[in-house]
Amino acid sequence: MSPTPSPNPNPSPTMPPRHHPGEELLLAHAAGTLGAGPGLIVAVHLEACGACRALVAALEVAGGVMMAELPPVPMSSLALERALAAIERPGAVAVAVTGAGAVTGAVAAPKVPAGLELPLALRGRDVGPWRWLAPGMRWSRVAVPEAPRANVVLMRGRPDRLLPAHGHRGSEFTQVLCGAIYDGDVRYGPGDMFVADDATHHHLRVADEGECLCIAAIEGRMRMSGLIGRIVQPLVGP
């Protein structure tokens, strides 16, 4: 089972989140069966959301009781050796936030909005430099050493800027770190999490009150629409 994250000592949301991962997603996270990318996004959400942390803790307790009632199963002779090897495996270079809002790591990492403390779940992970995505929009790769194929990115947008309309071949798990973004008429603010699937067609717009920073895990491919979308598509894959 996945450990319940501690609350961020300096979280960005000032109001409780209004949009949360579904119970099935939280159950998968508690059971440790969620993929590394989506699991990271849920962990970030849990830092900012006391209600979801409490629910996951309850699910973990329930899962522990169920496991205790199961008959014992002999462990593999290599189980201890593999566990020790995993503990001793070198980790990624730690990520830290400076007073100016910069992130430092093994590579030239991106600057984030001043005063923002990145989630604890991103500590110990390399975060790459900002790359152009669309006018007023940038993205940065977040390394997931335990799952190198996981596609996790930070996305930063200026006020009132549009992300090219797009759909998905797979699922996208997004958590808002600061600012706000609209998907049609639905507003997602700091601490909110939302999930898109292959039936979703996004029309995302950054709210006009300030910059927005999100973290997303993308499974499958994005399907971009429109002229800018066709320009951007090579950046996000076929």
pLDDT in tens, 153-192: 999 999 999 877 766 577 889 999 999 999 888 999 999 9
Can you tell me the distance from the alpha carbon of 175 to that of 178, in angstroms, rounded to the nearest whole number?
Answer: 9
As beta bridge partners, residue 155 has 139, 214
Residue 179 structural domain? 103-236
Can you give the pLDDT at residue 71? 61
pLDDT at 26 over 90: yes
Can you tell me the distance from the alpha carbon of 56 to that of 4, in angstroms, rounded to the nearest whole number?
Answer: 7
Note the helical H segments in the chain.
Answer: 23-31, 36-48, 50-68, 79-88, 226-236
**Conformational region of residue 170, where left means phi above 0, alpha means psi within -120 to 50, and beta covers everything else:** left
In a domain, 126, yes or no: yes
Considering only 43-57, 67-81, 211-225, which range has the smallest mean pLDDT? Answer: 67-81
Domain CATH for 183: 2.60.120.10
pLDDT in tens, 209-232: 899 999 999 886 655 555 444 444
In a domain, 204, yes or no: yes
Q: From the CB of residue 141, how many other CB atoms can be counted at a distance below 10 Å?
A: 16
Q: What number is the average pLDDT over the span 85-114?
A: 45
Q: Which residue has the tokens 């990318």?
A: 37
Structural domains in the chain (count): 1
Confidence of residue 87 (pLDDT cuts 50, 70, 90): very low
Is the distance from CB of 41 to CB of 175 less than 8 angstroms? yes
